[in-house]
Amino acid sequence: KMVLNPKQSGEDRFLFDFGVNRAGFSRINITALVADGVESVVTMKHAETANGDGVVNAYCGGQAPCIVDDWSFNLANQTNQLTLRPGVKQHSFTPFSAYAGFRFVEVRWLNMPRGAEFTLESIHVHTRVQSIGHVHFDSTTLNKIQDAILRTQLNNLHSLPSDCPTR
């Protein structure tokens, strides 16, 4: 669900909250006609947390969350960028060689054409493994904890187990 849509200095900003942390990628589908001579760039930054202003929080080498005041900070970390081709109305982007660990995706669109529309979806990816058991508790809290444990294990299983999908 989109939770923020403020406008700032020629750039449109949107924040999406997918509800839970996951390993995967986001797919964006855009309907927008960019005029010749205009550079229209969509940047999608993935993160596990967002601050109160709707800016995703980056991490400093696995340490405590950094305070992010500037979008350019750590730009390469879990970020995808798409430059729209002028004269083409339908655009789609799905990363093919990278995944991220995220709950939030901040989309910044430089020179968003009037009337443009887009959808963003979260695709969960992990190594295909077979479950060999199941546990269910009478406690809703314990079931939620168990679901989080299973999701965490899958998020960190990409051919080889990892400690964190955000690195």
- pLDDT tens readout for residues 27-71: 999 999 999 999 999 998 888 877 776 777 765 444 455 554 444
Whether 72 shows a pLDDT value over 80: the answer reads: no
- Whether 8 shows a pLDDT value over 90: the answer reads no
What pLDDT does 7 receive?
A: 44
Which of these ranges, 27-31, 119-123, 125-129, 163-167, has the smallest mean pLDDT? Answer: 163-167
Question: What pLDDT was estimated at residue 58?
Answer: 60
Three-class DSSP labels, the chain = CEEECCEECCEEEEEEEEEEEEEEEEEEEEECCCCCCCCCEEEEEEECEECCCCCEECECCCCCECCCCCCCCCCCCCEEEEECCCCCCEEEECCCCCCEEEEEEEEEEECCCCCCEEEEEEEECCCCCCCCCCCCCCCHHHHHHHHHHHHHHHHCEECEECCCCCC
Residue 9 has pLDDT above 90, yes or no: no
